[in-house]
Amino acid sequence: MKNMVIFLVVFLTVFTVLPASAQVNLGVLGGLNLASCDVDPLEEMEISNLTAFGFGCVLDYSLNEFITLHLEPMYLQKGTKGDWEMFELEFKLAYIEIPVMLKYAFGTSEIKPYVIAGPTIGYLLSGTMKMSGDGYSEEEDIEDETKSLDFGLCFGAGVSVPMSNNSIFLEARYALGLTNINDDPDDPDTDVKTKGIQIFAGITFPIGIK
């Protein structure tokens, strides 16, 4: 929790010192996270993607004609699926995720392709593991066995299209977790890091001076 407070203080400080005359756009977004995890050692479990979801807000703060500070605080599901012996495993993690990225837009036309990259931090809200197979099904809470913070990197690309005074956008990115989120005292040697291919769409509304 202490790290989360420090991050929020830094985040608010950076936001308050940005130029007041910059163009600001607020909006909403939602989409899919094709989530998985890197597990080491993997042993006999086969890992596959979990189709998860995310939704939240967008804040675009223009630094110049081409570069924008791109913030997307959101609710985001992560996790993975696995096959172990005769059982199917499903790990579901829910986070408050705050990507803080730079967006670089290309060209001078109204339709603007762009690339994005930057760090992200997630604060764990809940975690479950479901095991099923051969008529058996059980769900277990794993929040206490998962670290509360997940730091990572995001990078990807998108396109923004004007719609009257607003803009709609579609973006795809790859998220790579840098933190070993395993906090199970009975299995301290296993390293688990999140990852995912994320596809989001949304709309933004101008509120600043252009």
Q: What is the pLDDT at residue 41? A: 85
Structural domain includes residue 77: yes
Residues 6+ apart with CB under 8 A from 102: 67, 68, 69, 70, 116, 117, 118
Structural domain includes residue 13: no
Please answer whether residues 31 and 199 qualify as being in contact, where contact means their C-beta atoms are separated by less than 8 angstroms: yes
Structural domain includes residue 112: yes
Q: 3-state DSSP: the chain helix, strand, coil percent, rounded to 5?
A: 10, 65, 25
The two counts, helices (H) then strands (E), for the chain are: 1, 11
Q: How many CA atoms lie within 13 A of 169 on its CB side?
A: 32
How many folded domains does the chain comprise? Answer: 1
Structural domain includes residue 199: yes
Structural domain includes residue 151: yes
Structural domain includes residue 173: yes
CATH number of the domain bearing residue 69: 2.40.160.20
Residues in the chain: 210
pLDDT in tens, the chain (210 residues): 544 554 455 455 455 545 555 688 999 999 999 999 999 887 777 889 999 999 999 999 988 888 999 999 999 999 999 887 788 889 999 999 999 999 999 877 788 999 999 999 999 999 999 988 777 788 999 999 999 999 999 999 999 999 888 999 999 999 999 999 999 998 888 999 999 999 999 999 998 555
Say which DSSP state 45 is in: P
Structural domain includes residue 14: no
Structural domain includes residue 124: yes
Taking the C-alpha atoms of residue 74 and residue 68, their distance in angstroms, rounded to an integer, is 19
Say which DSSP state 180 is in: -
Taking the C-alpha atoms of residue 168 and residue 48, their distance in angstroms, rounded to an integer, is 32
Q: Which two tokens stand for residue 136?
A: 């058996």
Residue 123 structural domain? 24-206
- Among 52, 50, 45, smallest CA distance to 87 is for 45
Q: What is the pLDDT at residue 132? A: 86
pTM: 0.85
Taking the C-alpha atoms of residue 134 and residue 130, their distance in angstroms, rounded to an integer, is 14
